[in-house]
Chain A
Amino acid sequence: MMLEITTTHYLLLSAVLFAIGAAGILVRRNMITVLMSIELVLNSVNLNLIAFSYQLSDLTGQIFAVFTIAVAAGEAAVGLGILIALFRLLDDTHLDKATELHG
């Protein structure tokens, strides 16, 4: 028996991806893993946009997804830049070492 893949399935997958990404950002202590989790969140959005775009036969979602990919690249560049600056001071990518500020 073939299971038909509908928009709902894509939405569930994207919700799971989003939850994994959000949990990773909040729970993981390694900065590189956090950056990967951020990518996961943005890609779950892309999946949503493209699934809806296909369902609605409307191009806006795909155009939006292209913009999201571009911004995600920019965000990764800025994140890595900040990480390198911090790494030079701490010699570590572990978030628990960044504890000068607490409020």
Chain B
Amino acid sequence: MIDPTEFWLLAPEIFLAVAAMLLLVAGSIGRGVRNRPAAAVALLSLVATALLVLWAYGKGGSSEAFLAGMFVLDSYALFLKLLLLIATGLTVTISGRFLEEGGYRPGEYYSLILFAATGMLFMVSGYSLLSIWISLELMALSSYILAGYFKRERKSNEAALKYFILGALSSGVLLYGISLLYGATGTVHVGELAARLGDLVSTGEQPILIAVGWLLLAIGLYFKVAAAPFHVWTPDVYVGAPTPVTAFLASASKIASFAILIRILFEALPALKADWQLITALVACISMIWGNLAALTQDNVKRMLAYSSIGHAGYILIGVLCASEEGLWAVLFYLLAYAFITLGAFGTVIILEQREYAGETYSDYAGLARRSPFLAASMLVFMVALTGIPPTGGFFGKFYLFAAAVEAGWIWVALVGVLTSAISLFFYFGIVVQMYLKPSEDTTPRPMPAVGLASTIAICAIVTVLLGLVPGPLVELAKASLIPLP
């Protein structure tokens, strides 16, 4: 029997879903809501949700699954939920400009962002393959629509189409894997699945169902975190989608996808640890090499950041494949740093964009240091952090990941990581060279005055530097947010 009071532990998700629905209705009546009130409502709902998350965790946070084993509210979920809410909040603050200039309705946009965030909160709490999959779909369906939000622009529609087709295929692959694992074990509950898989693997029963099942499940998850060779959708979707949506996909969506990847590998498939460590190592290396090499040849900044995000998925996978405490908290710390760095970098891209898609090439950044020292300095911080140079959060993030890999005996993977980081210096500093050493032309775009956007970029830059100067407190926080190791 389900104890109805357990629904209180889902109060944050329920509240956010209701807020999203109200915003959707308000945005559809008559002329809808204007951008500023809609953004304010969305931000307030996110803050209230964050408070509810803290309240729910205080009320019944434990590693025990509740609601018939569908959800769990442990410290891992708490850390990731707060991080996701922060990333979503920053996305809301960088979204205003394109809605106002493009004349797109803001009510629906913010409501879709909140729906996606609801899905993400459910994802990190999911403790059954059923609940994890349904919440993944909630996030994915909202993201498909968001990618096509510039509905009068061909590129945006194409991005939505490609994202939808490949996303649906990956959902199908993931689901097929789940169905085979269900057939082998008779359960979709993460804890029971792990126990029964352990028995089956030790007796050698159902080898084909288990092998094909977990492999398809893992491929679906690698697709969602945009790791090579399952990354084909990423560059096109990141370039075609409205830039705030790209920032959202590269930060919040990626964090939530990594959260379920780790939850499933660590807690549902510990019996297959040796297998998934090897596959993850291969995927991590291919992602790091392919992402960084392909980024070298780009002249569009959004496309470069898309390939860079594939490379960074590889770095984060290094921490996952260690399957150690050091690896896990390094991943959590990296996700935190990466969210601020990515949102800041895409925020800078937005402020330089003229109309929908102009102002995105490297040469548009020429002489930015003269035209706007603040923007150039912030972009410098983000590029330094993405390369992994001190004193930024990006340095410590990579340092902890590589250290964990060396400690766990995956030295060759760490070596690939260090080498590809060195390669990445070239394309990240390509922008820096443009900003500081090249003179600007008459045609180069001038940054728009936008106070909300500029302050978001400033916050992201300050946090990035702070994480590099005093990483201690957040490392402690990440260390307190671990799940049982496989």
Given the contacts A48-B183, A64-B188, A90-B154, A71 and B134 also touching, CB distance less than 8 Å: yes
With both beta carbons as reference points, the residue of chain A lying nearest to B136 in the complex is identified as A71
Q: Name B's interface SS.
A: helix
Of listed B186, B235, B303, residue having the most chain A CB within 10 A:
B186
Please, what's the 1-or-0 string for B355-370, where 1 marks a CB less than 8 Å from any CB in chain A? 0000000000000000
Within 8 A of A (CB), among B119-167: 130, 133-134, 137, 141, 144-145, 148, 151-152, 154-155, 157-162, 164-165
Docked Cα-Cα span, A83 to B309, in Å, equals 28
Task: Count B-side interface residues using an 8 Å CB cutoff.
Answer: 41
Min C-beta distance of A65 to chain B, whole Å: 9
Docked Cα-Cα span, A81 to B134, in Å, equals 20
Residues of B within 8 A of A45 (CB): 172, 175-176, 178-179
Question: Do residues B158 and A22 form an inter-chain contact, with CB atoms below 8 A?
Answer: no
Min C-beta distance of A24 to chain B, whole Å: 10
Docked Cα-Cα span, A64 to B181, in Å, equals 13
Within 8 A of B (CB), among A62-84: 63-64, 67-68, 71, 74-75, 78-79, 81-83
Question: Do residues A64 and B130 form an inter-chain contact, with CB atoms below 8 A?
Answer: yes
Residues of B within 8 A of A56 (CB): 183, 186
Question: Do residues A74 and B157 form an inter-chain contact, with CB atoms below 8 A?
Answer: no
Contact for B158 among A34, A58, A63, A100, CB less than 8 A: A100
Given the contacts A103-B235, A103-B303, A38 and B169 also touching, CB distance less than 8 Å: yes
With both beta carbons as reference points, the residue of chain A lying nearest to B129 in the complex is identified as A64
Min C-beta distance of B381 to chain A, whole Å: 27
Given the contacts A61-B182, A74-B137, A81 and B145 also touching, CB distance less than 8 Å: yes
User: Is B413 interfacial (CB 8 A cutoff)?
Assistant: no
Question: Do residues B154 and A89 form an inter-chain contact, with CB atoms below 8 A?
Answer: yes
Min C-beta distance of B71 to chain A, whole Å: 15
Docked Cα-Cα span, A45 to B175, in Å, equals 7
Contact for B240 among A67, A79, A101, CB less than 8 A: A101
Residues of B within 8 A of A67 (CB): 130, 133-134
Min C-beta distance of B73 to chain A, whole Å: 22
Question: Do residues B159 and A101 form an inter-chain contact, with CB atoms below 8 A?
Answer: yes
Within 8 A of B (CB), among A42-59: 42, 44-45, 48-49, 51-52, 55-56, 58
Question: Do residues B141 and A60 form an inter-chain contact, with CB atoms below 8 A?
Answer: no
User: Is B17 interfacial (CB 8 A cutoff)?
Assistant: no
User: Is A32 interfacial (CB 8 A cutoff)?
Assistant: no
User: Is B325 interfacial (CB 8 A cutoff)?
Assistant: no
User: Is B239 interfacial (CB 8 A cutoff)?
Assistant: yes
Question: Do residues A79 and B176 form an inter-chain contact, with CB atoms below 8 A?
Answer: no
Residues of B within 8 A of A55 (CB): 183
Residues of A within 8 A of B187 (CB): 58, 60
Contact for A41 among B162, B172, B178, CB less than 8 A: B172
User: Is B168 interfacial (CB 8 A cutoff)?
Assistant: yes
Residues of A within 8 A of B186 (CB): 52, 56, 58, 60
Min C-beta distance of B98 to chain A, whole Å: 17
Residues of B within 8 A of A51 (CB): 183
Residues of A within 8 A of B145 (CB): 78, 81-82
User: Is A86 interfacial (CB 8 A cutoff)?
Assistant: yes
Residues of B within 8 A of A90 (CB): 154
**5 pairs from A and B in contact (CB 8 Å cutoff):** A48-B176, A52-B179, A58-B187, A75-B171, A98-B162
Please give 4 more A-B residue pairs, beta carbons under 8 A apart, in addition to A67-B130, A89-B152. Answer: A42-B171, A64-B179, A98-B154, A103-B306
Residues of A whose CB lies within 8 Å of any CB of B are 7, 11, 18, 21-22, 25-26, 31, 34, 38, 41-42, 44-45, 48-49, 51-52, 55-56, 58, 60-61, 63-64, 67-68, 71, 74-75, 78-79, 81-83, 85-86, 89-90, 95, 98-103
Question: Which 6 pairs, one residue from A and one from B, show the smallest C-beta to C-beta distance?
Answer: A41-B172, A103-B235, A52-B183, A48-B179, A101-B236, A86-B157
